Amino acid sequence: MNMKVIWKLIKKEALLVFNDKSILLVLFVAPFLYLFLIGTTYIQKDEEKVSVGVVDMDRTKSSRMFLNKLNATQKVDLNYTYNNLPEAKNGLYSFDVQGYVYIPHDFEKKLKTKESSPIGLVLDNTRFLPSNDINKSVNMVALDYAVKSRENFFKSKMVSPKLARNNADPVTIQVNAVYNPNNNYGDFLLPFILFLILHQTLLIGLSESVASDREKNLMRIGFRESKNSFIDYILGKTGIYFLIFLAYTLFVLLVAFPLFDLPLHGSLFALLGASVIFLLATVLYGWFFASFFSTETGAMEVMAFTSYPVFLITGVTWSIHEMPLFVQFLSNLIPLRPFFVFLKKLSIMGIDSHLYLNEIIHLLILLIIGYVSAYFRFRYLQKRKPKIKSAAGLRTSSQ
């Protein structure tokens, strides 16, 4: 390892970055732009007081009590009242409400006679998160209402109040939500999206640079300047990208996480250590795949295209075990996959170190795979003879 050679290549790469507006935009504008837009989009993290309509055909004291209890919950805002079901459906179609509650005739009468009193709930599941909140709130109020009704029934049979309460609710469930107690979308999604932004902008910027070298026949010059040493070349070529995105990682953990009030329950140093392995593996993967592109534009388009598919197969939004086997295999070859699992365990769950050791080993294995792949690709390109572009160019050179 020759530090003078590495430093010379790093300075050369820095000059290339600052002279290429496209790479400069990806490395220094895109990360902050996306971090700001995504962060501010989910800054509230959770949607409260979801708009819900009401169709109260009973219009009795019991129906009003039920609706008042529902409106007092954190998630529901009964801000539209309809006279009939067609009006409520129009409100749903025009997106005035995310759902509506239908209380039929004889609701109070059936309660008093201890008959079943069904309540209708229609939800717009095109936005499944708010609809889940509405469904949960309505069921909680209905369950509480049912318990009170059964308790009053037992009291009417001259059962003592304490025994009436026990008989009305013989099975109780105590739910303890851990790691994301508020069940909000921001704490679940934001940590992963922030690192996905860093991952993709790093890949795009590095890929543009490597493809540009091939497009302008500068890659062989880099090989010669490194004296055909793979370690000197790869450190010199990718060193500036690693340092820039290590700084971005520190920014995300020390600034973005506190700013957006994201959980960071585990060791910051452990997270930084895993981030270093993750970035090194990403840099090697990025150089390897970018070396197959002969144009800067092509590399940028393909790497940008992979952003969403890569995120989908990491197992964050859908269980990886429910995916086809070949997708599971592909997912386990991407450094984002073990890093996201590690991030969830350490940052969100705050578990002990021995429980995320498998993810560290997985990252190290991918780092080795990336190194070996990049090394053999380097040797192949080093030995490959340059192609003569045209016969006109050949005549010119012969003259």
pTM value?
A: 0.75
Q: List pLDDT tens digits, range 367-390.
A: 999 999 999 999 998 887 655 444
pLDDT value at position 286?
92
Q: List pLDDT tens digits, range 303-334.
A: 878 877 888 888 887 788 888 889 889 889 99
d(CA 69, CA 148): 13
pLDDT value at position 395?
41
Cβ proximity of 22 and 208 under 8 Å: yes
d(CA 17, CA 349): 39
pLDDT value at position 218?
83
List the one residue out of 178, 188, 125 whose CA is nearest residue 318.
Answer: 188
How far is the CA of 146 from the CAs of 75, 118, 169, 385, in angstroms?
Answer: 21, 11, 9, 81
pLDDT value at position 305?
80
pLDDT value at position 76?
87
- What are the start and end residues of each CATH 3.40.1710.10 domain in the chain? 50-168
Residue with tokens 């450094």: 335
pLDDT value at position 110?
80
How far is the CA of 111 from the CAs of 58, 69, 105, 121, in angstroms?
Answer: 12, 17, 12, 18
* Token pair listed for 274: 């895993």
Parallel/antiparallel/unpaired status of strands 50-56 and 99-103: parallel
pLDDT value at position 74?
82
List the one residue out of 356, 309, 314, 306 whose CA is nearest residue 335.
Answer: 314
pLDDT value at position 171?
52
H helix count then E strand count, the chain: 19, 4
pLDDT value at position 311?
81
d(CA 190, CA 264): 12
CATH, domain range 50-168: 3.40.1710.10
Query: In the chain, what is the straight-line distance between the N-terminal and C-terminal CA atoms, in Å?
Result: 41
Cβ proximity of 239 and 6 under 8 Å: yes
Torsion of CA 196, 197, 202, 208, to 10 degrees: 120
* Token pair listed for 282: 């990403």
d(CA 224, CA 303): 28
Parallel/antiparallel/unpaired status of strands 120-123 and 76-81: unpaired
How far is the CA of 43 from the CAs of 39, 46, 261, 346, in angstroms?
Answer: 6, 8, 9, 22
Segments of the chain scoring below 50 in pLDDT: 388-399
